[in-house]
Structure 1
């Protein structure tokens, strides 16, 4: 077919979710979309053209050999025997996911690139296998799993052995090399093929009454900095504290009607939030003062990913809860956006015209 078009649609995600550090992910109703058109008759156009609108449009690179989405797509293509992009590809990126705010923007870009490459190369790779590709690029499974699979998920990495273990340790610079702007079909050596079963996941239930409020402050927290402040070791007391609550939380969020006290206590954390509080002005005060007692309808509150976005789970009084948290940030001279979101069961998808 000389001409065809399709849309890649990837949800934003929240990770960690209280005690679920590097384990839990949540797929939410805010999206990164790619509108893709292919005109194979345009043989003079060797590289895709990129256009951006929405969040991050001013800072996103338009060179397809530098842009994360298209570099990931090229990785999929090259692993599956295609040395470069097909000719005549035009991509309009429509992004609603804010960069650097703890809502899985990089994970969404990686997953969008995986589906783009899979579709451009007509590779026929299913979502479970695409997760292996994702974990070669994004070495933490929570965000990419939620974006790819959808819903409320728990995930982990396997302890691989031998050659498979070595492959997963290949530097990202070899998985996604820095291509020159005039990259040709002969560029570089073939990238590593992902081993099968790098990670596994399970989908949990989610009670229909539970809504999600994302309070998005107008500043970024770099993931690298948020990782750097974490300790190298933890006390057994703090680890048991989180494990106990994690075991309860994954079941309690599926029960209808939700048990307010059970969920609120189960969303407490001692593994990452205490160490990141100085990166997010007002966070200790917000976590301590916004409770089900002060705000009926609230179920729980936590950092989204590495922050600075605050995630509040609630059944009622959503506007009041959001307003209070925004007021607390305003005391620190920080303005916020508020997003009222749903947990969605549909993960990343390709919609063909």
Structure 2
């Protein structure tokens, strides 16, 4: 059996913890329960960037605690096509894949909605894991255990600049302030509403004019010297739009000139994936 889980980009600037977008780049995870011991092997372009496979085991233990079902031994072979610790949802892809595997191994007792709720609880916020399940542009709402979302199918291609240094999402969240200036909150409300209004009107490219943010990006950029140099070099190219992908360090921008950008490792030109996770026998 095989499951393909897409990369995701979140926040899209102003939509902090609310907007998430699935991309046509997938981690491929083959698995079989014809084994007596759980083993995990990773190959692919970014496999060498993985420190370990602990997240798979953490998800399995979480699934067992929440459901009461025991995940049987499983043999997993993962092809890592999503950059690791780069703000493109590599951890969310593992969480989604592991929950799917756990559900398959215990009799498919949980619905997709049940698995999404588990994924959100484990991840802590919905904007990465929900679009990994559903595809498309997802507008998420979470209040305690209540999860709601709307999906928009859009046709769009985006360019992501991936640097050669990672960042830790948990550490990046710790540096965010508990309070922000009133005018910054208003700025983000206006941009996020206008972004979504353009999407709803089918004006996809116009929506990208409204990805400006004042709630989280500057704090993350200024906290990391390499990140600051990376973003400043991108901004020196005078892009029409740009935003930090997730917690970073990857940046989405429409520039075509990549000369002189420090730390640049990969340039990924990706279309929106409106299908989401793909399951095959």
Q: TM-score, normalised by structure 1?
A: 0.72
Alpha-carbon spacing, 1:23–1:339, altered in 2? closer, same or farther (3 Å): same
RMSD across aligned positions (CA): 2.2
1:310 and 2:256 correspond? no
Alpha-carbon spacing, 1:253–1:76, altered in 2? closer, same or farther (3 Å): same
Alpha-carbon spacing, 1:138–1:96, altered in 2? closer, same or farther (3 Å): same
1:85 and 2:26 correspond? no
Whole-Å separation in 2 of the counterparts to 1:229 and 1:81: 36
1:253 and 2:196 correspond? no
* Partner residue of 1:224 out of 148, 167, 170: 170
Contact 2:161 2:264 in 1 (8 A): no
Larger Rg: 1
1:349 and 2:271 correspond? no
Alignment of 1:1-353 (within 5 A): 6-39=1-34, 45=36, 47-54=37-44, 55-57=46-48, 59-61=50-52, 67-77=54-64, 79-86=66-73, 89-159=74-144, 197-206=145-154, 208=155, 210-253=156-199, 255-256=201-202, 258=204, 260=206, 263-264=208-209, 266-278=210-222, 279=224, 280=227, 281-287=229-235, 289-292=237-240, 300-312=241-253, 321-322=255-256, 324=257, 326-329=258-261, 332=262, 334-352=263-281
Alpha-carbon spacing, 1:148–1:28, altered in 2? closer, same or farther (3 Å): same
Alpha-carbon spacing, 1:199–1:71, altered in 2? closer, same or farther (3 Å): same
Contact 2:50 2:84 in 1 (8 A): no
Contact 1:34 1:93 in 2 (8 A): yes
Alpha-carbon spacing, 1:18–1:38, altered in 2? closer, same or farther (3 Å): same
- Deviation at residue 150 of structure 1 after TM alignment: 1.2
Higher relative contact order (CA 8 A, sep 6+): 2
Whole-Å separation in 2 of the counterparts to 1:289 and 1:58: 29
Whole-Å separation in 1 of the counterparts to 2:271 and 2:16: 21
Q: Which runs of 5+ in 2 are unaligned?
A: none
| CA displacement, residues 36-62 of structure 1 (integer Å, 9 cap, x when unaligned) | 1232xx5xx2x2222110213464435
Q: Which runs of 5+ in 1 are unaligned?
A: 1-5, 160-196, 293-299, 315-320
Q: How many residues align?
A: 276
- Deviation at residue 258 of structure 1 after TM alignment: 4.3
